[in-house]
Structure 1
Amino acid sequence: MVKFPETKKVDLTEEIYGYKVSDPYRWLEDTESPEVGAWLDEQDKFARSILNSLPLRGELKEEFRNLFYEETIGFPHSRKGRYFIVRRKADQNLEVLYTMEGLNGEPRILVNPNELSKKAGSVINLAGYSTSKDGKFISYGLSETNNDQAKLCVMSVDTGEKLEDEIPGELYPSPGSWSLDNKGFWYTRRKADAPKGEEKFHRKVYYHRLGTSFDQDELVYGKDLDKQAVPFAYETHDGKYLILTVRFTSGKARYSDSYIMDLADRSRGFVPIVEGIQGDGDTYFGATVHRGYVYIATNYKASLGKMMRVPVSQVEKGVTAWEEVLPEGKGVLEHTVLVQDKLFVTVSENVHSVLREYTLEGNLKRDIDLPTPGTCQRFSAEPEGDELFFLFESFVFPPAVYRIDLKTDKAELFKQMKVNADISDVQTNQVWYSSKDGTRVPMFLIYKKELTLEGDNPILLNGYGGFNISRRPLFMKGILPFINRGGVYAIANIRGGGEFGEEWHKAGIKELKQNSFDDFISATEWLIEHKYTNSKRLAIEGGSNGGLLVGAVMTQRPELFKAVIMSVPVADMLRYHLFHGGRYWIADYGDPDNKEMFPYLFKYSPYHNVKDGVEYPTTLITTSDKDDRVHPGAAFKMAARLQEVNKENLIVLRVERKAGHVGAADVARFIESSVDKWSFVFSELNITK
């Protein structure tokens, strides 16, 4: 029998809509209390006693050091002949922001978090940046905990001088969009006097004028805006217009409004491009101004997405004046880039990117060849520039930056990440399986070529299935030690994600959330049925909404899995909306305060469905103490409840200190967390060498 650290159990039972709800570990939600701090110290001691004793730790640490202490390639952004790039040298812990005069110019350091961290005595990381239109100024974020709070700073690029302007991180400022005259920038933050507990709400658009204090910034938009709405504004490249997008999350589904303001005549205010239009599910409208037209990407009445446009001069006529540029196709519209007289578009077809070039009117000019089935992401081009950069990668193709010369239309490899490992024997395969209700679901498998199907391969299955987010083919260095030892890494593209548009998303939310769990369970059953593995050599993992996923399926089908890795989980579905920005998620999960929705949430909420007398799989729960997205109290409660009922299988809680939702920013701590995770997986799946 395992002896877990003692955890106080409080007799707390409530009756909610006729259901008796027990919550004996609610006191762990008070993460700032000394009592919870003492409990965490004991959990840390227990976790280290387990994790430090696992075999292969030293070997894995050396492998991860070789994999992650290597130079990154960065991604270039151009501004009038000056380029900006964020990358890290092989011996550095944190990424550095550089500028170059010309694409092949000598890199000059602008922001070096390694030096800032050394001076501060603790980690400070770069958290995004924005450049002025001529590349002479930058606004950039600095975070002390790698969470959503980042102080906004300003620098003169010519001199490298940090200006006195600062906007506090606790206001959640965005990097901003610079005005053409370089006198300031438009940005989003919350109001300074937001009530306690609502620090992530009350966001508004402000204009910051250089040389003034942030508390004097002009309120541009949002005075009477719903507290959960999120507005963002950007100034067009020519300085003529301000484009405003407002995302609404408090209704039955998310939707967005878009507006345009003529900066030469601000007295007219924001003129609606699209306002108040809601579809059957989440509905988005993304507006961009280019060569006299407003281009609008939307999924309204087009689950997979389409593109419309309207002359700027006719915006006030409404949607009746819009013309179609790109109709809904067979793939999900993902990225659109307007540059010169060209429109570049990526669509996802069966979870692989297709890159195409069109005229501004929507006439297809060509398909652009990609090196292998994979993912296009991150595009960069000046609207009237002569080059376009994009990033491409896949499970077996390391990230590579490509440059398209718009004078010759030639696409060439600009730079590709080097990997300190042999990946020539690694291959990927996409399979399809039937879920419980017959829906066909795709799954990616990554493994070494000599894999045999004898029902005994170690497998780690990953999933997400929420918020219209797609799990795409990306290069993951961290799985190579597992793959090289005969493991199979699997990703199930379950419903709730965005792999096949809004209909796929809607099929895995609210009352239909169980579809996500059924899809994931069916993936495990398919892997076992097709002789890839068995339950004793099968582990599952997921983070955030994926943490909810693995928490739900382990409580529904504990016999299917040998081990579970549950990261930053949304584990309490009855109280998730009470912390940080949790209310933003109601459109996906449903409102626990709604009498009709409550039974669905209660039925699958991981914390509430841990049963006495059931032995659950060995589980590693990971979270961070400064996570301001998913409250760490949910992970604490889940760990305490599982430790209460399990007798034989380990339940280990690993808490990263001074870190946010995505963990630590520095490579050193990332490696330590990777060693803990993978040595845990290796031990549970009986990988001994």
Structure 2
Amino acid sequence: MKNEALYVSAALCLAAVSNAQKKNVMYHYPQTPKVNHTDIYFGEKVEDPYHWLEDDQAVMTKEWVKKEVAFTKSILDKIPFRDKIRKELKDIWNYEKISAPFKEGDYTYFYKNNGLQAQSVLYRKDKNGKVEEFLDPNKFSKDGTTSLSGISFNKKGNLFAYKISEGGSDWNKIIILDVVTKKQIDETLKDVKFSGIAWLGDEGFFYSSYDKPKGSVLSAKTDTHKVYFHKLGTKQSQDKLILGGENFKRRYLSAYVTEDQRYLVISAANSTNGNELYIKDLKNKTELIPLQEGYEYNTEVVDTQGDEIYAITDKNAPNKRLVKFNIHNPEVWTDIIPERENVLNISKGGDYFFAQYMKDALSYVEQVEYSGKVIRTITLPGKGTARGFRGKKEDKELYYLFTNYITPSTTYKINVETGVSSVYQKPKVNFNPDNFVTEQVFYTSSDGTKIPMTISYKKGLKKNGKNPTLLYSYGGFNISLQPAFSVVNAIWMENGGVYAVPNIRGGGEYGKKWHDAGTKMQKKNVFNDFIAAGEWLQENGYTSRDYMAISGRSNGGLLVGATMTIRPDLAKVAFPGVGVLDMLRYNKFTAGAGWSYDYGMPEDSREMFEYLKSYSPVHNVKSGVCYPSTMIITSDHDDRVVPAHSFKFGAQLQAKQSCNNPVIIRIEHNAGHGAGRSTDQIIDENADLISFAFYEMGFRSLK
């Protein structure tokens, strides 16, 4: 659910015309029938005239979707420079992309995309240096919409299992291969969802799933997760239930086998924050031992050494700490890395921990012994984001990525004994960072809270209020937005655009307190922070209302939907992407109830119901209001945030829009919530985005 930007080519030059000169054309939107439907909350009736759009299997819904797709196409087809942007976007995208390598058994593996391949290919290199293709996801389907959604090797590296997603669905299949022959050795496991693959030797692996729901697979509720063990050579129907089901009902269960293969660790949760934790000593064949009960804290096992267990936790440490305990006395926790003022994340490799901290959303990293002794602070290439530092205990070299908004993501190799880093892989992107500026500012939100925002643009920018500006954020689920380079943003800036990312509350940039400050009855802090960011950019001359676009996806789609209904005058263009937009019914679909830590549920109390209703985008579209030019983005296979959210919001906007700013609904075919999309799908969506944004900002021609 992260950085979705607009693309435009380096050669693009647009001639602007005044918005006041635009012809006042009222659009003839597809007719969306209103059907009587009423929900009652604490005695209050809430009308839901577009409730019928929730039924994705209904003929009426499918016919409506066809009409909306045709209408959206008719609007976008009129933009004269759309095809040129798409072509130039393909040219820009066409460069080789290679991942960091990783060792498994006798081979070293890496991903590579030649440039415009639909999906990246997994290659391997043997000890003699011979490179060969190992697994090509482009062969999964003709149109490239079946993707590789996860892989796992067993300890010896001789067995390999991988997950595939068809059309972007969260429902996956697992396929098992013999590494040497690359041939399938077992039946395909089906109906797997929100699951890892945790191997136990050569015997088999643990995985998680739900029972396939009755009714719509895309939208029906899934709230009882289960952990199974699949023994190689047996049928999936014979897989052993390890935990879950009606006697242990949890929305989320995940299984993990430690690197030494001694322990099975299972995390159990009912929402996206807070977990129970259980551990089983496989060597001594114990039962599952509870390490943490209740859902007040987040704790995760990081590694083990014999009887000693290492875990990262926010228990009594909102910014997290690394602790150690003995399997024979799991109640006594000892700090290895105590909590600090900055948020901690942990990775491991080469028999060291790497403490990855954020200071105002920027990375700094320390290498730490298992005793807790700090060996060194890693010298990073600059101010930005460093991710990686992962490997096996025996590895002497690890890899990490470094990036920021004006530095292409570069892979570095680090020697764990000397701490010396060197460039391993640098992408050949036609971009000169010296021509650009990234600055971090701190602005004040409506309640006086200071919020950091990173603003990136080309040198020489004139603060005359006429710079096309994309304001992007997320604001939820403890997710942190750290600086990251994108060709998309680079080209946007190349053409005079400003790209701004505020680190608003609800995220994890400043730990649990920052997250909690944007949840439940404090959720409006998130919208106020975002609105204040837009106001600051306008007050300081970076842009103005007529040249601002607001964008976000998923929870960020809610952010945009709420912002444009609270402050319809803030921006000219709005992109609510795959958004949670009906806050009174979000918990009725798929695993939506699991988001209740952030949102609360309307059934919780009258106060919670009234608060959710007060900002729910679907319920706050008003007649007689001029809303921004809006492109609502969704996909027909999104089984995480179901398309009904976007459908109902779009229907409300089209029915009540009072001015000539268009409202269109872009519905991607054969795609899900965002992951696994083909290169063509991504390029097409972003060509549409930039075309729509610039056109609605008043640009009319290419030079």
TM-score by length of 1: 0.94
2:273 maps to 1:254: yes
**C-alpha displacement at 1:90, in angstroms?**
2.1
2:198 maps to 1:177: yes
**C-alpha displacement at 1:454, in angstroms?**
1.6
Distance 2:492 2:50 in 1: 36
Change (3 A) 1:199 1:81: farther
**C-alpha displacement at 1:291, in angstroms?**
5.1
**C-alpha displacement at 1:410, in angstroms?**
2.4
| 8 Å contact kept, 1:100–1:107 | yes
Structure 2 counterpart of 1:652 = 664
What is the letter of the counterpart of residue 245 of structure 1?
S
Residue of structure 1 aligned with 2:533, choices 512, 523, 528: 523
Residue of structure 2 aligned with 1:207, choices 218, 225, 229: 229
| 8 Å contact kept, 1:290–1:338 | no
What is the letter of the counterpart of residue 525 of structure 1?
E
Change (3 A) 1:239 1:284: closer
After superposition, give the CA deviation of every residue in 1:558-577 in whole Å (9 maximum; x if it has no partner).
Answer: 11111101101111000000
| 8 Å contact kept, 1:236–1:289 | yes
2:140 maps to 1:128: no
2:319 maps to 1:304: yes
2:492 maps to 1:474: no
Structure 1 counterpart of 2:11 = none
Question: How does 1:461-540 map onto structure 2 within 5 Å?
Answer: 461-540=471-550
Structure 1 counterpart of 2:81 = 56
Structure 2 counterpart of 1:400 = 410
Structure 1 counterpart of 2:102 = 77
Question: How does 1:364-513 map onto structure 2 within 5 Å?
Answer: 364-513=374-523
Structure 2 counterpart of 1:684 = 696
Q: Percent identity?
A: 36
After superposition, give the CA deviation of every residue in 1:330-365 in whole Å (9 maximum; x if it has no partner).
Answer: 21112332542x221101111011111112121221
Structure 2 counterpart of 1:294 = 309
Change (3 A) 1:627 1:604: same
Structure 2 counterpart of 1:613 = 624
2:28 maps to 1:3: yes
Distance 2:144 2:256 in 1: 34
**C-alpha displacement at 1:484, in angstroms?**
1.3
What is the letter of the counterpart of residue 224 of structure 2?
H
SS at match of 1:78: strand
Structure 1 counterpart of 2:571 = 561
**C-alpha displacement at 1:587, in angstroms?**
1.0
**C-alpha displacement at 1:406, in angstroms?**
2.7
Residue of structure 2 aligned with 1:227, choices 249, 255, 262: 249
SS at match of 1:164: coil
SS at match of 2:574: strand
Residue of structure 2 aligned with 1:572, choices 555, 573, 582: 582
Distance 2:680 2:698 in 1: 27
Question: How does 1:594-633 map onto structure 2 within 5 Å?
Answer: 594-595=604-605, 596-633=607-644
Structure 2 counterpart of 1:165 = 187
**C-alpha displacement at 1:480, in angstroms?**
2.6
What is the letter of the counterpart of residue 61 of structure 1?
R
Residue of structure 1 aligned with 2:56, choices 31, 37, 48: 31
Question: How does 1:86-125 map onto structure 2 within 5 Å?
Answer: 86-102=111-127, 105-118=129-142, 123-125=145-147
Q: Mean Cα displacement is larger for which, 361-370 or 92-101?
A: 92-101
SS at match of 2:88: helix
| 8 Å contact kept, 1:388–1:405 | yes
Distance 1:421 1:360 in 2: 41
After superposition, give the CA deviation of every residue in 1:617-637 in whole Å (9 maximum; x if it has no partner).
Answer: 110001001000001011001
Residue of structure 2 aligned with 1:186, choices 181, 206, 219: 206
Change (3 A) 1:514 1:620: same
After superposition, give the CA deviation of every residue in 1:418-455 in whole Å (9 maximum; x if it has no partner).
Answer: 21444441221111100000000011111101111122
Distance 2:356 2:129 in 1: 30
2:287 maps to 1:269: yes
SS at match of 1:162: coil
Change (3 A) 1:642 1:149: same
SS at match of 1:233: strand
| 8 Å contact kept, 2:116–2:679 | no
**C-alpha displacement at 1:191, in angstroms?**
4.0
2:26 maps to 1:16: no
What is the letter of the counterpart of residue 284 of structure 2?
D
SS at match of 2:188: strand
**C-alpha displacement at 1:81, in angstroms?**
4.5
**C-alpha displacement at 1:122, in angstroms?**
6.1
SS at match of 2:489: helix
SS at match of 1:558: coil
Q: Mean Cα displacement is larger for which, 360-369 or 55-64?
A: 55-64
2:308 maps to 1:284: no
SS at match of 2:110: strand
| 8 Å contact kept, 2:224–2:246 | no
**C-alpha displacement at 1:244, in angstroms?**
2.2
Distance 2:340 2:179 in 1: 43
Change (3 A) 1:173 1:37: same
**C-alpha displacement at 1:664, in angstroms?**
6.1
What is the letter of the counterpart of residue 665 of structure 2?
L
Structure 1 counterpart of 2:340 = 329
Distance 1:269 1:48 in 2: 58
After superposition, give the CA deviation of every residue in 1:123-178 in whole Å (9 maximum; x if it has no partner).
Answer: 3211110111121111101122122122110111111112232111x332624111
Distance 2:643 2:176 in 1: 32
| 8 Å contact kept, 2:386–2:400 | yes
Distance 2:194 2:525 in 1: 37
Distance 2:27 2:213 in 1: 48
TM-score by length of 2: 0.92
Distance 1:594 1:313 in 2: 40
What is the letter of the counterpart of residue 250 of structure 2?
Q
SS at match of 2:386: strand
Residue of structure 1 aligned with 2:677, choices 665, 677, 681: 665
Across the aligned residues of Structure 1 and Structure 2, the Cα RMSD in angstroms comes to 2.0
2:561 maps to 1:551: yes
**C-alpha displacement at 1:544, in angstroms?**
0.6
**C-alpha displacement at 1:287, in angstroms?**
4.3
Q: Mean Cα displacement is larger for which, 414-423 or 613-622?
A: 414-423
Change (3 A) 1:534 1:43: same
Distance 2:675 2:313 in 1: 33
Structure 1 counterpart of 2:7 = none
**C-alpha displacement at 1:60, in angstroms?**
1.4
Q: Mean Cα displacement is larger for which, 26-35 or 219-228?
A: 219-228
Gapped regions of structure 1 (runs ≥ 5): none
What is the letter of the counterpart of residue 686 of structure 1?
G
Q: Mean Cα displacement is larger for which, 605-614 or 655-664?
A: 655-664
| 8 Å contact kept, 2:251–2:591 | no
**C-alpha displacement at 1:495, in angstroms?**
0.6
Gapped regions of structure 2 (runs ≥ 5): 1-25
Change (3 A) 1:525 1:226: farther
Higher relative contact order (CA 8 A, sep 6+): 2
| 8 Å contact kept, 1:22–1:608 | no
Distance 2:214 2:197 in 1: 21
